Structure 1
């Protein structure tokens, strides 16, 4: 945060006068009661939680909102196949990043599989029990714009069960009616206690109810209230284990109502890449001398959102550029091979898979969905592309195909790993 706005703790430490305590109390009261402050009305041992609006906060908020317009325009300009592949990949990276922060062992292969299973289940209206499957499904639900924000304490517990329960050891499962009965401490990297969760289930429930209201409040700007709610959830620490993952999902959920999905989905990765700064923001906000001020915490998370947007804009820019080249190549090949309309559509989808999907291959089912035709009809167009030498088969059951070496050479993309066994 720019230098002119300092934390209450820093100002206190810099005050060498005999009145430092009185000055500190006066300044804290002034900040809380200032016209440009958003007070939450939520009392904690730190003080009433509040967010001030210094200039640097206004400027950063503006940056985020302007970047959102760019992300949104770029996102709308790419076709559905590519959007889905991007979301699919981003969710699996999101699961990976958030698991890694919590020390849950998971591989990219597992998280990719969980998202694939969840996507299939969403299409079939059924969910198989893949590891992290429920977790993936929750993130996939963010693609429905009208996904509900939690209204009750049961909703919070339900989200926790889907995200964390499978991975939690029996001794760490919630032992209260909904949350934990006992106390919990969060240890830092050197075994020092960096945070003690709120004591007693009644107090946990009361503060969570206030968090639910804060996240839905219309008297505080949406970015600020979403981030302040995230702080409050982690501060309460309602469970023995799995608070981090649950809290970051809730943050994604709260932000997804007003920010584009790609931005929301790239946030955990940015947080994981800057986790020391993330944890430091919590420690600073919990310094008793900062009297419940969340300004710096909000500013830090806004900074993460801005960083996520920056890399997203760069990434989407490259993809849009590749897509433009692919469109030109598609038209050239259509004329060269006197291709039917449906084969041309299929070719374009194959090229998109090659550029943007992690699996790089397509099944007849995928093609069927893409072209909105039956499997029998699709087979004809697959054969048309195969005889033109533009696709090759990489799996028999189910039948899988992808861009051939010739097509990849035209597209300027690299060689491929070994084929699957036939």
Structure 2
């Protein structure tokens, strides 16, 4: 029989018993299963009549489909890392920046917050230039948000040991993004609202969930999730998805919970698996947004007894699908880069006799290679490598700065690169 949410199972099995007894018996059977993965997290679940309970612990059964998807997820991650290992650093950096542009755009778009991809890319570049200045980020909108993601990109993990760590990350992630009346109204998280108003999460027709109402309960819930996050007894992939659900179920802040929850999932997957997967979380969710919302509605339903089996299965399907897209894109770009390098080498062979004696073929090859990587792996031409970056990179490889400048002028005179910006100067390769 197909694995069903308990709210549906009790009607699918018709043996004359009370549906509530059928559901209770099946719940106990699932919870007593030898393979069950049971947690000590107790989410606040909502019944159809809007009454609530927190007496059920989160659990799931590692169905064959889930095990297959988890294996696929890990295999995809290894494949992505293998492809990346065959790419030059600039290509990897530009591709990660492209993923980050989409990640920031889509995590905001899911919440109805409008942003511009080119503006996001510009902030990414500004932050890169400020990377050597500790604590500095672009003063433009989302500068602080993007810096948090970039720290993950550079391999800096986040540590959450106390409740204050959640608030510290939240304040940085959403700096400048929240109206005054949407700031946390408690000591760390949100607290009771004025006039007895209750925070609700609704669909277009009804209330689907009401998270804990006061900060004391929120702190209890978030303390338990810290303990769970730092418990190594459950495989990291499942733990990440369960934590994502529990964070959203608790809804600890007045605003920005979705963005915070997706950031936490993104940075966790980046540190445990690969950055390409981690920087595709919001992109993947956005592509399956209706299914994502449906998964939460089902998981928040008290009639399903905190069974996250199908929630985990669905999110694994969403994430592995995006991984496969990333693999296909990386393979395609890798092939295009190989073709570009061959084209560059052929052009150098055919024209080397006309090169100025002060410019070596190796310098010209390296300069054109940077421009090729930038063109193929950047989100947009304007977000590609700038001349001063090429000059710095070539200097690190032993080429004088003045020679790189003359190389760029020479290649522009040859018509195989063109000037696309003046402040700062930026060229784009036209040979490929």
Fold agreement, TM-score > 0.5: yes
In 2: Cα distance, 1:392 partner to 1:22 partner: 74
In 2: Cα distance, 1:390 partner to 1:179 partner: 56
In 2: Cα distance, 1:39 partner to 1:245 partner: 27
Tell me whether 1:325 sits opposite 2:339 in the alignment.
yes
Secondary structure at the residue paired with 2:42? strand
Give the match for residue 284 of structure 2.
270
- Higher mean alpha-carbon deviation, 190-199 vs 219-228, is at 190-199
Change (3 A) 1:58 1:395: closer
Change (3 A) 1:200 1:98: same
Give the match for residue 429 of structure 2.
403
Aligned pairs (5 A) from 1:182-261: 182=192, 183-188=198-203, 190=204, 192-261=206-275
Aligned counterpart for 2:310 among listed residues 280, 296, 306: 296
Give the match for residue 112 of structure 1.
121
Shift of 1:255: 1.4
TM-score (norm 2): 0.89
Show CA shifts across 1:182-231 (max 9, x none): 2421222x253222111210110111111122222211111100000000
Give the match for residue 61 of structure 2.
52
Tell me whether 1:366 sits opposite 2:393 in the alignment.
no
Contact 1:365 1:375 in 2 (8 A): no
Give the match for residue 195 of structure 2.
none
Secondary structure at the residue paired with 2:58? strand
Shift of 1:67: 1.7
In 2: Cα distance, 1:110 partner to 1:396 partner: 18
Tell me whether 1:72 sits opposite 2:81 in the alignment.
yes
Contact 2:242 2:312 in 1 (8 A): yes
Q: Which has the higher contact order (CA 8 A, sep 6+)?
A: 2
Contact 1:82 1:352 in 2 (8 A): yes
Aligned counterpart for 1:96 among listed residues 80, 105, 111: 105
Give the match for residue 9 of structure 1.
7
Contact 1:149 1:253 in 2 (8 A): no
In 2: Cα distance, 1:54 partner to 1:259 partner: 22
Shift of 1:374: 5.2
Gaps of 5+ in 1: 412-422
Tell me whether 1:63 sits opposite 2:78 in the alignment.
no
Secondary structure at the residue paired with 1:179? coil
In 2: Cα distance, 1:200 partner to 1:173 partner: 15
Secondary structure at the residue paired with 2:186? coil
Show CA shifts across 1:338-380 (max 9, x none): 1521121001111122222234354331112321255434212
Tell me whether 1:181 sits opposite 2:191 in the alignment.
yes
In 2: Cα distance, 1:61 partner to 1:250 partner: 19
In 2: Cα distance, 1:364 partner to 1:23 partner: 69
In 1: Cα distance, 2:117 partner to 2:338 partner: 29
Gaps of 5+ in 2: 44-52, 193-197
In 2: Cα distance, 1:396 partner to 1:268 partner: 34
Aligned pairs (5 A) from 1:275-290: 275-290=289-304
Secondary structure at the residue paired with 1:4? coil
Contact 2:392 2:401 in 1 (8 A): no
Shift of 1:146: 4.4
Contact 2:208 2:300 in 1 (8 A): no
Tell me whether 1:149 sits opposite 2:159 in the alignment.
yes
Shift of 1:100: 0.4
Aligned counterpart for 1:160 among listed residues 149, 170, 176: 170
Show CA shifts across 1:222-269 (max 9, x none): 110000000000000001111000000001122122221111212211
In 2: Cα distance, 1:237 partner to 1:97 partner: 20
Contact 1:285 1:292 in 2 (8 A): yes
- Higher mean alpha-carbon deviation, 115-124 vs 323-332, is at 115-124
Report the RMSD for the aligned CA atoms in angstroms.
1.8
4+ runs deviating over 6 angstroms: none
Change (3 A) 1:112 1:191: farther
In 2: Cα distance, 1:22 partner to 1:114 partner: 57
Aligned counterpart for 1:346 among listed residues 338, 352, 367: 367
Contact 1:39 1:51 in 2 (8 A): yes
Secondary structure at the residue paired with 2:131? helix
Contact 1:37 1:51 in 2 (8 A): yes
Secondary structure at the residue paired with 2:375? helix
Contact 2:225 2:243 in 1 (8 A): yes
Give the match for residue 169 of structure 1.
179
Contact 1:32 1:50 in 2 (8 A): yes
Shift of 1:20: 3.1
Secondary structure at the residue paired with 1:401? strand
